[in-house]
Amino acid sequence: MPLVKWQDLGRLDYQPAWDYQTQLHRRLVERKLEHRHLKPGQYEQEHYFLVVEHPPVYTLGKSGSAQHLLLSETELQARGIQYFPINRGGDITYHGPGQIVGYPILDLECFFTDVHRYVRSLEEIIMRTLSDYGVETLRLPPNTGVWCPPRPNCSLPAAEEGFWHKFRKICAIGVHLSRWVTLHGFAFNVNTDLSFFRHIVPCGIADADKTVTSLAWELGHTEDMEAVKERLKHHFCAVFDCEIQTS
């Protein structure tokens, strides 16, 4: 059974987190090359699951459009928001306080070699976690990520007219793989300030019947971030059939 090292990086700017991911990713790839004469499982490979909370930042995936960022560079600076075009899949999204960003750095040859299954597995972790909180979720192909279905009879307050009548994205997913080693991951809105999403076209989706949400919005109150992380850790082990080592 693979062993995955869990590291909570706390609150960390995007650039050093990205640099650290890249460093670990390179280490895994180099280890694969050193043992290329062996099959996966015949040597000890390292795997990591990083969780982090970023200060406000927008990231644009390699298949996204810069036009989906609705602020100028001057406006970004005035609001204290950083911006990074990066090498993951997907379009533009937001990271910020109250959001759990997960970066699994796994050699998938030690698990399964199927990119679509990997993305579905990340979705499954989030869906099981939300189920623990009584939040209904679904997948909404061809879009990736985890969504909440319309709740037209919901009496909770809404940020905009018709909020509860829409499909609401609660977790965005964007990944990159090289030699079957993963980079990037998911952004799970727990207690996130959703107003930051007004300055982008989230994930490039401009449909009137779709918006974004958070666990706090779905429940009507904030949740303890550490407790949510523990649920994520539990379901990660179950979905990926692995052990977690906290460092």
Angle at 106 between CA 244 and CA 226, to 5 degrees: 40
Most confident of 29-43, 117-131, 144-158: 117-131
What pLDDT, in 10s, does the model give residues 192-222? 999 999 998 887 877 889 999 999 999 999 9
CB atoms under 10 Å from CB of 136, counted, come to 12
Q: Rounded to an integer, what is the distance from CA 184 to the centroid of its chain?
A: 8
Pick the CATH number of 3-246 from 3.40.50.970, 3.30.930.10, 3.40.50.300, 3.30.365.10: 3.30.930.10
Q: Where are the domains of the chain?
A: 3-246
What pLDDT, in 10s, does the model give residues 136-184? 999 999 999 999 999 988 888 765 668 899 999 999 999 999 999 999 9
Catalytic site residues?
203
Beta strands in the chain (DSSP E): 3-11, 48-53, 57-60, 82-85, 92-95, 99-105, 138-140, 143-148, 167-178, 181-189, 210-212, 243-246
Output the pTM of the full model: 0.94
DSSP letter for 67, please.
Answer: G
CB atoms under 10 Å from CB of 44, counted, come to 10
Give φ, ψ of 10 to 5 degrees. Answer: 70, -145
CB 61 within 8 A of CB 174: yes
| Cα–Cα distance measured from residue 178 to residue 180, given in angstroms and rounded to the nearest whole number | 5
